[in-house]
Amino acid sequence: MISLTSPVKTRAHGWPAGLKLGALCVASTALFMTGNVVVHLAALLAVAVLYTIPGPVFMRAGLRSLRAVLPIIVILLVWHGVTGDPGLGIRITLRTVTLVALANLVTMTTPLEDMIDLIHWLTTPLRRLGVPTHLLETAIPLVIRFTPVLVERAQTLAQAWRARAVRRPGWRLILPLMLQALDDADHVGEALRARGGPLGPHQQE
Amino acid sequence: MERNIAHIALFAAMIAALGLVPPITLAFGVPITAQSLGVMLAGAVLGSRRGFAAVALFVLLVALGLPLLSGGRGGLNLFNSSTAGFLVGYPVAALVTGLFVENVRLHQPGLTAALGAVLGGILVLYPLGAIGMAIHMQISFAEALMLLGVFLPGDLLKAGIAGMLVQALAKVRPETLAWHRSPAGATNPRL
């Protein structure tokens, strides 16, 4: 499955995921604490430099993921411009872009396996309390495996609809999609049981 | 137990698949998609606990960097922007929708589900989303709620659709809806 990680390998790929996440939290909190526009501008410049270091391919991929923030910027500037404090609008826009770009950097440079390991580590206190967090290790691969399957099913259903009707398929496809997903879930449940149940807390080590 | 895990995982996958319906992004960057319909359905079909788990699992995978959110978005950047409140609010919305359908008995399961979807997917989700927007955009909570008004017609429609889907599900696959007990004389004489 396609993921949002960077197409090129960077040095940051090797860094521990916990460290990157921790740094992101510290940086985000710090930016929320300060209202100094010079600090925000410097932070944005620093993040921009981080994007350029791994080369043009990395930068293009990164900027593509950042496109989603554009509408937010427009509304921020318009809103604060209309309500009479454009300075505040600019400051928040700078902060928003920096925060989103920073978080995106962590996502781009951290492979899924590292993230799952991090989750395993972060849920340690819950596990101590007796929460069955090991079930996540069974559930996560199931979702990853079945999302493309269900997407394909939805496309097949839409195709079948188009073969029969002139109107565009809409929400009506959701019922058969849901029925198939529920049937699949029953089968997967039986298959899991036949194979001795989900991964136990000891098997995954 | 195995069945529960499978249902939770498959529903999370279905919410992701629903994100494929092309989203209509509005001016302030919170898109309208069938994905929130999936959240309503998770609570209404699976009930509070499993619905919460399914949506929480979906949000967790988005946070881990899988492009499962509508429009192929995903990653931690979403949790650092004005959409954060919604992502955190989704599991809560499913939980509340589930609690409603489990505790309120109406004659029509579809109506119960639609009302539950309005409660969870609008009355609970909007304030949570607005808190996220207020923090990130530095606007007041009331202003954020006002901006969210744009979504109201779409979400009311989705709650209605969720109700119709659950009504149909109660007919063709009643055993799925654990919270729905058929009225007296559950066995259909014609079968």
User: Which is more confidently placed, A120 or B38?
Assistant: B38
Separation in Å, CA of A203 to nearest CA in chain B: 16
Residue B32 is predicted with a pLDDT of 60
Residue of A nearest to B136 (CA): A96
Backbone angles phi, psi at A93, to 5 degrees: -60, -45
Spell out the per-residue pLDDT of chain A, length 205, in tens.
Answer: 456 777 777 777 888 888 888 888 888 888 877 778 888 888 888 888 888 888 888 888 888 777 777 777 787 788 777 777 777 788 888 888 888 888 888 888 888 888 888 888 888 888 888 877 888 888 888 898 888 888 888 888 888 888 898 877 677 788 998 999 999 999 999 998 888 877 765 554 4
**Which residues 6+ apart lie within 8 Å of A14 measured at CB?**
none
Residue of B nearest to A186 (CA): B3
Whole-angstrom distance, CA of residue B125 vs CA of residue B132: 11
- Tokens of residue B38, six digits: 């999936």
CB contact under 8 A, B26 and A71: yes
- Tokens of residue A102, six digits: 């920073």
* Cα–Cα separations (whole angstroms), residue A14 to A24, A123, A200, B38, B87: 16, 22, 29, 36, 28
- Where does residue B187 fall: left (phi above 0), alpha (psi -120 to 50 degrees), or beta otherwise? beta
CB contact under 8 A, A139 and B14: no
pTM of the model: 0.82
Note the ipTM here. 0.83
Paired strand residues for B24: B32
Q: Does A174 touch chain B (CB under 8 A)?
A: yes
Pick the residue of B52, B138, B167 with the most A CBs within 10 A to test the interface with A by mutation. Answer: B138
Best-predicted range by mean pLDDT (A122-126, A127-131, B14-18, B121-125): B121-125
Q: Does B130 touch chain A (CB under 8 A)?
A: no
A148-183 core/surface letters (b: 16 or more CB in 10 A; e: else): eebbebbeebbeebeeeeeeebebbbbbebbbbbbe
| H-run or E-run covering A77 | helix A70-82
Please list every residue in chain A whose beta carbon sits closer than 8 Å to the beta carbon of residue B56. Answer: none
| Residues of A (34-63) whose Cβ lies below 8 Å from B | none
